[in-house]
Structure formats: structure tokens, C-alpha cells
Structure 1
């Protein structure tokens, strides 16, 4: 992933392509495609394949646990990050007078469960200032009725990375709220320290280079009793097939309660392989490789006639750089014509830099941008 030879071996589809859209879709290495094929071979065994699926399920949980800094009993898998947050809303059982803090740089999955009319809680919005979330702006929103503070570690919108230790310390000193962190735009790209976080969620089709159809959930045992989802199903129940199964439903505690039905085993195989691949390369090595590329991209964009919306501060940078331009669609089309792939939406262009990118591809991107502008 970090050298030309490993890139050609593991990502053969990159020939001639400069791909900077991992924040939307990661490109899987051949190891993930092989894992999906292995799932197919195991599925051909019928019921006998269930034992092999269970082995991969346990292996995937071990990989997630290592990535999150938890034990395998403190993690589980659901279908996507949106499902995880809807189950979290069930687990919280919010009432009139409760308060939830969201922010305006966040992805809809973590913010919208609390915005429906049926949710009795009051929602407070931690608003970005100059494209950054500042702790001093969060403090007035916290109080004795705050039940949840939820945020992405890295914003999908502009790549801003929150200062998580500062956020956790601030919340713990001021209110009894649970803290939820979405690491979708960080997992597999930057080193993580998720100490004292109550709920950890991630999608699977981006930086860990796996497939769609997965949501990685982490709930430390200290928070399990407060984050147990009372959902119907069977896989997550303690008594799904007991004699009293039609008198009561008893969910397993914590993260296990988020796995409500038959696991999406194709995704589980891909997740296990993707996390193993990223771990074999090393997140520290990926970050060390990408940091100067992000810096190069940011510095060159500052020389161009664009509105940079990624805060230029080393503590708040991860893998995403974004800018605004009134001719964003034209710029996007010009890049795509040169087989350079970025994200474009509503005047915003987003560049995502992962371990399979190199300096030559970044320079090619900047050169094309310069000529187009």
C-alpha cells in the first residue's frame, strides 16, 4: 500500500488512476476480494458453512477490538452506522426534558435520530466557527439534563478532527452525558485513542477498505448497562430459543445488543480481511506516509483561488482536505476527464488521501486543478 510494488500488487485497478475519494468509497485490496470469494465457497457448504462463518465472525470482532482499544466482548457488528445510532436511540430511552448535543459538521447518521418529532429530547447544536468545532462553544450547551453528546472524530464535510481528549474531559466535568464518537473517517487512517468514550461507531466501506453492509459498534463494559438496545430479533437475545421466548425478550448487554439479526456474513468476511490488511501495513505507517501528502495538498490549495474550508492546524488534520468554488462542477468534470477522482457536492470539492496515494498523484491533482482554474 505504501510502495509502488505493493500498490501494483494489492490495488491493480489503480493503473492510470489518481483516486482521492476514499472518504466516500474505499478501494479494497485483493485480500478483501479473496475473502469475499472465500465466503462464497463456505456458503456453498450450506448449514456446514455456518461453523466457518462463526470463525470469521469471531476473528472480525478481535480485529475491531484491537482497532477500538476494547475487548472482543465489548464490540459487535450491525448493518451500518445508521442502524447503530437508531439502536442507540432505543437504548437511551430519552424522555421529555432530556437534551442531546449534535454538531453542524457531522454526518446525518449520528445527528438525525434525535431530530424526529417522536424524539422527546431537546436537541442542541454545537456550531462550527470558521469551519472548526471549538470546545468553548460546546461548554454552554452542557448541563444536568444532557444525556448524550455525539460527534464524528473526523468530519466527513471538511476533515476537521475534534480534540477528543479535551472533549471527553470537558463533558465529564460538566454533565452526566454519554459520549458517542463516529470514527468512520478516521478508522484505518489515523491512530486512535478512544479512552473513556461510551459508544464507538464506524462504517466499513471507506478507510478500512472493506465492503458495504457493516457497522462496527464498541461499547465498553462500564457503559453496557446504559447502552443496551431493547430491539426485537434473535441473534442479540439471551433467550431467543428458551422455553420463555414468547413471554419475554432479554437482550445481551452493551455492544452485543446491536447485532439484532442474522449477521451479514459477506460483509463480515470483508471487514475481517480489510482490518487485517490495514493492520499488516500499520496505521502509524499509513499516517506517517499520508501526513506530508495532506500538508502538500493543503499548502498548494492555499495558492489557488479557492475557499479552503479545512482548518489549517496540525492537531485538527486527518485525511480529508476540502474547498469551495462556484465552478465546482466544472472543476470536478475536468479532473474526472484526467482520471482523477474526488468528491463534488453543492459547490464543495473533497480530497481524501489514504495509504495508496503517493506524492506523484497529489502533484498530478494539484497541477490539473491549477490548469483548470
Structure 2
């Protein structure tokens, strides 16, 4: 991943391609494909296949626990981050008068459960300034009524990386709220320090380079009671088939309550393989490799006739750079024609730089982007 040889070996489809779209879809290493093939072989065993399936499930939870700095018992794995947040909404059991704080830099998965008409709480929005969230704008939103503050460690929209300790301090000082942190755009790309987070959520098909169909959930044991989802199911229940199963049910506490049904075993095989791969390379090494590329790209983008949405603060940038241009669609089309893959969500160009990217990818992007800007006027 960090050398030309390992890139060719582990990511053969990247040969000749400048893939800068990991914030939308990660490119899995071949080890993930091998894990999915192993799932198929195990599935062919029928019921006996559940034994290796369960081993993969436990391994995936243990690896996730390492990255979240929790224990395997504090990890749940559901189908996606959207499911995780909807189950979190069930767990909170909000009432009229309660308040939830979301940010306008968050992905819809973490903000929309609290905006549905069925949610009785009042939602307050922590709004960004020039692509960045400021603590002084959060504090006035906090009160004794605040039940939840939810934030993305790295914004999909602007690429801004929050400093978590000041948020934890503000939330604890000014409210009794729980703090939920979405690490989808950070996990596998930057080292994590999640001390103080009461709920941790991540998708699996982006920076950790696994498959779709996974939602990683971390609930510290001291917060298990607050984050126990009263959902129907069976994997999440204490005794789903007991003598009183048609009279009363009880959810397992904390993270286990987020695993409501039969696990998505193919995704678990992929998650296990991907996290093992990322761990083998080392997140610190990935960050040390990619950060200079990010900083160079940011410095060069500042010289171009585009509107930067990413704050000009290199210490607050992880793997994503975003800018606007009136002809963003035409720019993306020209870049794609040059085999440069970026994202164009709603008039924005988003560049995502991971450990499999090279200095050559960035130079090619900048060269072709300058030519495209000149061409579209």
C-alpha cells in the first residue's frame, strides 16, 4: 500500500489510474476478495458453516475494538451506519422538551433520525463557518435539556477534522448530553483518540477498504444502559426462544443491542480481512505517507480559481479536500477522461487521498485540473 511493489500486488486495479475517491468508495486489497471467497466456501458447508462464520464475527469485533480502543464486548456490528443511528434513536427514547445537537457538516445518516416528524425532540444545528466547526458556536446550543450531541470526526462535506477533546469538555461542562461520534471518514486513514465518546459509529466500505453491509458500533460499558436499543429481533435479545418469549423480551445491553438479526457474514469476512490489512500496514504509517500529499494538494488548490470548502488549516484536515466551481460537472468529466477519479456531489469536487495514493496521483490531478479549468473558462 505504501510502496510501488505492494500497491501493484495488493491493488492491481489501480495500475494506471489515479483513484482519489475513497471518501465515497474504498478500493479493497485482494485479501478482502480472498476473504469473500472463503465465506462462500464456508457457506457451502451448510449449517456447519456457522462455526467458521462465528469465528469471523468474533475476529471482526476484536479488530474493531482495537481501533476504537474498547473491548470486544463493547462492539456491535449491524448492517450500516444508518441502521446504527436509527437504533440509537430508539435507545434514547427522546421526549418532548429534549434537545439534540447536530452539525451541518454531517452525513444524513447521523442527523436525519432526529429530524423526522416522529422525533419529539427539538433539533439544534451547530453550523460551520468557512467549512470548520467552532467550539464557541457549540456552547450556546447546550443546556440542561440537551440529550445528545452528534458529530463526525471528519466531515464528508468539507473534510474538516474536529478536535474531539474540546468538544468532550464543552458537552460535559454545559449539558448532561451523550456524545456520538461518526468516524466513517477517519477510520483507517488517521490515528484515532476517541476518549470521551459515548457512541462510536462507522461505515465499512470507505477508508478501511472492506465491503458494503457493515456498520461498526462502539459503546463503552459505562454507557451501555443509555445505548440499549429496544428493537425487535433475536440476536440482540437475552432469551429470544425462552418460555416467556411471547410475553416479554429484554435486549442485551449496549453494543450487543445493535445486532438485531442474523449477522451479515459476507461483510464480516470482508471487515475482518480489511482491518487486518490496515493494521498490518499501520494507520500511523498511512497518515505519515498521505498527509504530505494532502498538504501539497491543499497548497496548490489555493492558487487555483476555485472556491475551497476545506478550511485552510492543515492540522484540521484528514484525507479529504473539497472545492466548488460553477462548472464542477464539466471538470469532473475531463478529469475522468484522464483516468482521474474524484467525486462531484452537488457542484463540489471532492478529492480523497489514502495510503494507496502517490505523489504522481497528486501531480497528475493538479496538471489535469489546471488544464480543465482553462478549458471550461
TM-score per shorter chain, which class?
A: over 0.9
C-alpha distance in 1 between matches for 2:233 and 2:345: 38
Q: Find the counterpart in structure 2 of residue 192 from structure 1.
A: 192
Q: Find the counterpart in structure 2 of residue 286 from structure 1.
A: 286
Q: CA deviation at 1:315?
A: 2.8
Q: Find the counterpart in structure 1 of residue 364 from structure 2.
A: 364
Q: Find the counterpart in structure 2 of residue 256 from structure 1.
A: 256
Q: Find the counterpart in structure 2 of residue 326 from structure 1.
A: 326
Q: CA deviation at 1:314?
A: 2.8
Q: CA deviation at 1:303?
A: 1.0
C-alpha distance in 2 between matches for 1:15 and 1:313: 32
Q: CA deviation at 1:316?
A: 1.1
**Residues 189-210 of structure 1, C-alpha deviations (whole Å, 9 max, x = no match):** 0000000111000000000000
Q: Describe the SS at the equivalent of 1:32.
A: helix
C-alpha distance in 2 between matches for 1:316 and 1:256: 33
Q: CA deviation at 1:131?
A: 1.3
**Residues 130-179 of structure 1, C-alpha deviations (whole Å, 9 max, x = no match):** 11100000000000000000011000011001111110111011110000
Q: CA deviation at 1:312?
A: 1.5
Q: Find the counterpart in structure 2 of residue 25 from structure 1.
A: 25
C-alpha distance in 2 between matches for 1:65 and 1:244: 33
C-alpha distance in 2 between matches for 1:217 and 1:297: 33
Q: Find the counterpart in structure 2 of residue 93 from structure 1.
A: 93
Q: Find the counterpart in structure 2 of residue 121 from structure 1.
A: 121
C-alpha distance in 2 between matches for 1:305 and 1:315: 23
Q: Is the 8 A contact 1:163 1:315 kept in 2?
A: no
Matches within 5 A, 1:1-373: 1-373=1-373
C-alpha distance in 2 between matches for 1:128 and 1:42: 48
Q: Describe the SS at the equivalent of 2:344.
A: strand
Q: Describe the SS at the equivalent of 2:168.
A: helix
TM-score, reference length from structure 2: 0.98
Q: Is the 8 A contact 1:106 1:151 kept in 2?
A: yes
C-alpha distance in 1 between matches for 2:315 and 2:237: 42
Which segments of 5 or more consecutive residues in structure 1 lack a partner in the other structure? none
C-alpha distance in 2 between matches for 1:314 and 1:295: 6
C-alpha distance in 1 between matches for 2:115 and 2:315: 31
C-alpha distance in 1 between matches for 2:233 and 2:172: 34
Q: CA deviation at 1:371?
A: 1.1
Deviation larger for 284-293 or 236-245: 236-245
C-alpha distance in 2 between matches for 1:161 and 1:362: 21
C-alpha distance in 1 between matches for 2:295 and 2:286: 14
C-alpha distance in 2 between matches for 1:345 and 1:260: 32
Q: CA deviation at 1:76?
A: 1.1
Q: Is the 8 A contact 1:168 1:196 kept in 2?
A: yes
Which segments of 5 or more consecutive residues in structure 2 lack a partner in the other structure? none
C-alpha distance in 2 between matches for 1:11 and 1:345: 26
Q: Is the 8 A contact 1:75 1:217 kept in 2?
A: yes
C-alpha distance in 2 between matches for 1:59 and 1:312: 40
**Residues 215-254 of structure 1, C-alpha deviations (whole Å, 9 max, x = no match):** 0000000100011000000001111111111111111000
C-alpha distance in 2 between matches for 1:257 and 1:316: 34
Q: Is the 8 A contact 1:80 1:216 kept in 2?
A: yes
C-alpha distance in 1 between matches for 2:103 and 2:307: 22
C-alpha distance in 1 between matches for 2:219 and 2:104: 25
Q: Describe the SS at the equivalent of 2:303.
A: coil
Q: Which runs of 4+ in 1 moved over 2 A?
A: none
